[in-house]
Amino acid sequence: MSVVLASTWRPRGEMSRFQKLCPQLEQVYDSIVISLPPDTPAEDVGVLKAQPNILLAINDDWSWGRHSAIRRALETAASHVHYADLDRLLRWVETGPREWRQAVEAIQRADCLIVGRTERAFRTHPQAMQQTEQIVNRVFSHLLGKPVDPCAGSKGFSRRAAQFLMANSPPGHALGTDAEWPVLLQRAGFAVDCIAVDGLDWESADRYRLQAADQDTQGRAAEAYDEDAQHWAFRVQVVLEIVESGLAAMQRPLGPPDCCPARAQGWDDE
């Protein structure tokens, strides 16, 4: 089996860290896909194009980023796809490389693996994120029948599961895929599993730094984030998009049958 990394990224001063970590990424992933928003600086695009093992997707609309990453990943021959927000992944590789490698191994044993956060990792985030994302976790833990943390920016898919998502999930609600994709896969008969990791702690404090921020710096940045009321309003809108997308996925007709285990066995779509 093999794994392709399908990532989205809006570089915010992390390019030197990415270049430093690229050899580690290439040891674990057979291919690396990076999906970029349309306003990515030309300098950053140039650096990535110079990397020999990077497959780029530059989107006309940022909201297509996750879909573009998965579609580009399916152009490779990999048996499994690891979707990750690249800024989160860089921190994880720096601070917990062994745990990261173990998670990639686990992805190869699953159709859909939600990689969530431990309680310690979750508590490193600003309150504006913790208090709103708890709503997502409670709603979709109930609907999926197991405790899940779908907003952590990391999921694994078998090739067949990723193909099913591309056939059943239109682009345009980027953040909504956090809940939409696991819901669709469970309805289609794919097994949805979950793990929790320490390495997906809050990554935004790392921006424009030469290495991952320490705990004190991370904490001060989280406090500063919470002082801006606009951040709270933004996080409410993010959670609303995720919840609405997940609930809409509960009702969406599924197809095609050849990509859907449940329908292939003759089950009726509810």
| DSSP symbols for 97-154 | HHHHHHHHHHHTT-SEEEEEE-HHHHTTS-HHHHHHHHHHHHHHHHHHTS---TTSSE
Asked whether residue 268 carries a pLDDT value surpassing 50, the answer given is no
Give backbone dihedrals phi and psi of 34, rounded to 5 degrees, phi first.
Answer: -125, 120
- At which residue do the structure tokens 């745990």 appear? 99
Write down the pLDDT at residue 143. 96
For 145, what's the count of Cα atoms within 13 Å in the CB-facing half-sphere? 6
Q: Give the separation between CA 263 and CA 185, rounded to whole angstroms.
A: 12
- What structural domains does the chain harbor? 3-262 (3.90.550.10)
Q: What is the pLDDT of residues 5-52, one digit of tens each?
A: 999 999 999 999 999 999 999 999 999 999 999 999 999 999 999 988
Beta bridge partners of residue 4, listed in sequence order: 31, 81
- Pairing verdict, β 54-58 and 31-36: parallel
> Tokens at residue 14, please?
């992390």
Beta-strand runs (E) in 149-244: 154-158, 192-197
Q: What is the pLDDT of residues 96-132, one digit of tens each?
A: 999 999 999 999 999 999 999 999 999 999 999 999 9
CB neighbours of 210 closer than 8 A, spacing ≥ 6? 16, 17
**Is pTM, for the whole model, over 0.75?**
yes
